[in-house]
Structure 1
Amino acid sequence: MLARAGLRVASWPYGLAMRARNRAFERSWKRVHTAAVPVVSVGNLTLGGTGKTPCVEWVARFYRERDLLVAILSRGYGAETGRNDEAMVLEENLPDVPHLQDVDRVKLAETAVEELEAELLVLDDGFQHRRLHRDLDIVLIDATRPPARDYQFPRGTLREPASGLRRAGAVLLTRCDQVLGAEVEAIRAWVTERFPDVPVATTEHRPTELVGCNEANEEVHELVESLGGKPVGGFCGIGNPAAFRHTLESLGACIADFRTFPDHHAYTREDVDDLNRWAASLPPDAIVVTTQKDWVKLRVPALGGRPLRAVRIGLHFRDGEGAFVDVLERVIPAG
């Protein structure tokens, strides 16, 4: 009880600081830099994973399919050196879309336009990054973690008050398949009651294929249905590991064991040795399965004599896709 009260008190100065920071940008006390091309931000209100990477991929592909030169900008959180796991996944799935990472995303925008001739920028995890002007703010809300039942950090996971949604140009509810339909509609009603002009779409993250490699380091692609009825050892280092476990169970996998690591975990040689020992304890016919974010940092064909595969995930709209596309099309440069 005392600990909860302490967190509640600690959240007050944090909330005040975030409100003051936002007010400083809104009243031009802090400078906002405008890029030479349109900027579309994909972000959220909360700490932890809401499924931004599949959405960033969907949005970047949307504009590439309209013959625009697109670049993705991100802070690079979780990368000690080089690119982080999200950048590696996006580069693997979108090889013709460069991904630039740096704390100074204003500088990245200039580099993308001047050196890469980008015609549109997608700002990954940019909702609270106010220094760079954006033409559209897409905000994701994880249906398994509705903001109406959340609190400001450190008491909860909210990065800023939910009133910040007034800056949103569109809201996507993610992981809607993991909660009851009534809960999805309750979240939608909560958003539309407070922000009636913001279109709200519902989505889910659907497995599209299993990826891996063989001993010759050649890519392997398999149907996700191949996990049905198979013993599986799952592991991941992402913001919402329960969502990944749910994905495996939804594919009919029989979870023999499941391990979690911190978000953006950088796997060491000791981790790989430990995973090999763990995998060797699984049933002989088991498959070891992880997320694509974890796979791009490992890239080994097997662990403990069991094949290693990653689930590639794609964003799927349940409803509201048409209105969302309309919002995206409004920022396409004329000509």
Structure 2
Amino acid sequence: MSKPMFSLRRPAILNPAGYLDLISGRRRGWIATVQRSLLQLGTVPYATVIAGRNWLFDRHLTRSHAVSVPVISVGNITVGGTGKTPLVFWLAQWLAQQDLRVTLISRGYGSNAHEPNDEALELEQRLPGVPHLLNPNRVQAARRAVEELKSQVIVLDDGFQHRRIARDLDLVLVDATNPFGYGHLLPRGTLREPIAALRRADMIALTRVNLVPEDTLEELESQLATYAPQVPRFRVAYQPQKLLNASQQEMALGDLAGRSVAAFCGVGNPQAFRQTLEGCQCEVVDFRAFPDHHPFGPEDIDSLTRWLGHLDGIDRVVCTHKDLVKISLDQLVEIPLWALIVQPEITSGQPALEERLKKLIRQDPEQEEEEPGGEL
């Protein structure tokens, strides 16, 4: 059986798996202790910059620029992997069902002038007809959405820290499988902001609740009530729905039951993907985790081909939809390649969320247009 990707000959701290083993404390020994201490030192300048930036926004010394339609932000306080894209999909579907013209806006991490990034490609397939603007300047993108696309509501993907654009509803996701970024700010942990920043949220979504026991969820709810006592919460499960290949053919989940599977992904929380896949009653013979937003070029396809060539009895290769849109192959070494499609399901708190959304879309558009948007 082949070695996993992260056995490559380079210091473990330089690759995603090694870094997570280090900051989580799974890596032991005096060298790991020294490395964690050095990373802790690195949090000091990072924390200073974050605190200073938030101080300026909180006191309105740095402006947030408004647009004339409601803006809904979906974000988090940790780096990647909380399940933002499925919730953005749910929101866009819900808003479209209210006969509203929706535009998605994101920074476009990993995109370039010639092609969109993986999240944009995934959402384009799942939400045909819903515009998605990729622009690091989200204020500029929002104004374009309103003026050129005549959008009636904007969904801002990964917008919690992007405070230059004003928002009417701030949804912040907390992943139940790894809620608080190992308890430290970057680079010692994966927190983008202190946990107390959750108090800025309008609602907190506790995600991947189907992957942890109920007593763990109750403990998390109690912690969230301490960190952000005035912020209402709702729970989201990401349920496997079907299999999809690059030719847009679908297959029922039951096809995986009892089969031997090789899996790989390039997402922010690879363990959650593996756990979801194992819940489909298949045997995950081997698993490879690539960095989040990995481009999967020709060298990667060759590497995956060699990896699969060393595995025996594999019936299916499975990845995420986010990975499949970049690979666009139906097979790897004559083994069918499928993406596991998950569907968000709000298991509690949906009435409160929908009430907040309905309140937003009931706003008088003419009154909104009279409010100044501010100049860049």
User: Who is 2:307 aligned against?
Assistant: 278
Identify which of 22, 29, 48 aligns with 1:16. Answer: 48
The CA deviation at 1:333 is: 4.1
| Unaligned residue ranges in structure 2 (runs of 5+) | 1-32, 365-376
User: Who is 1:113 aligned against?
Assistant: 146
The whole-number CA distance in structure 2 between the counterparts of 1:139 and 1:207 is 23
The CA deviation at 1:257 is: 1.4
Identify which of 220, 228, 234 aligns with 2:263. Answer: 234
| Partner amino acid, structure 2, of 1:6 | L
Q: TM-score, normalised by structure 1?
A: 0.95
User: Who is 1:103 aligned against?
Assistant: 136
Equivalent residues in 2 for 1:64-83 (5 A)?
64-81=96-113, 82-83=115-116
Deviations along 1:180-232, whole A, 9 cap, x unmatched?
A: 2111111111112332321111121111110014xxxx421011121010011
User: Who is 1:247 aligned against?
Assistant: 276
User: Who is 1:53 aligned against?
Assistant: 85
Task: State the secondary structure of the residue aligned to 2:249.
Answer: strand
Query: What is the aligned length?
Result: 331
The whole-number CA distance in structure 2 between the counterparts of 1:70 and 1:276 is 40
User: Who is 2:240 aligned against?
Assistant: 207
Q: TM-score, normalised by structure 2?
A: 0.85
The whole-number CA distance in structure 2 between the counterparts of 1:283 and 1:220 is 26
The whole-number CA distance in structure 2 between the counterparts of 1:296 and 1:41 is 25
* Matched-pair contact (CA < 8 Å) for 1:38–1:333: no
The whole-number CA distance in structure 2 between the counterparts of 1:238 and 1:219 is 21
Q: Does 1:94 align with 2:127?
A: yes
Residues 115 and 101 of structure 1: CA distance in aligned 2, closer, same or farther (over 3 Å): same
* Matched-pair contact (CA < 8 Å) for 2:262–2:314: no
CA RMSD of aligned residues (A): 1.5
Task: State the secondary structure of the residue aligned to 1:327.
Answer: helix
| Partner amino acid, structure 2, of 1:311 | L
The whole-number CA distance in structure 1 between the counterparts of 2:64 and 2:199 is 18
Deviations along 1:275-321, whole A, 9 cap, x unmatched?
A: 22323333355101110000001111100110110011111122111
Identify which of 31, 34, 41 aligns with 2:66. Answer: 34
Q: Does 1:195 align with 2:198?
A: no
Identify which of 163, 166, 174 aligns with 1:130. Answer: 163
Identity of aligned residues (%): 43
The CA deviation at 1:47 is: 0.7
* Matched-pair contact (CA < 8 Å) for 2:182–2:189: no
* Matched-pair contact (CA < 8 Å) for 1:231–1:283: no
The whole-number CA distance in structure 2 between the counterparts of 1:277 and 1:44 is 37
| Unaligned residue ranges in structure 1 (runs of 5+) | none
User: Who is 1:140 aligned against?
Assistant: 173
User: Who is 2:297 aligned against?
Assistant: 268
The CA deviation at 1:34 is: 0.3
User: Who is 1:299 aligned against?
Assistant: 328
Range with bigger deviation, 86-95 or 195-204: 195-204
Structure 1 stretches of 4+ with a deviation exceeding 3 A read 280-285
User: Who is 1:220 aligned against?
Assistant: 249
The whole-number CA distance in structure 2 between the counterparts of 1:237 and 1:299 is 15
The CA deviation at 1:143 is: 0.7
User: Who is 2:213 aligned against?
Assistant: 180
The CA deviation at 1:148 is: 8.2
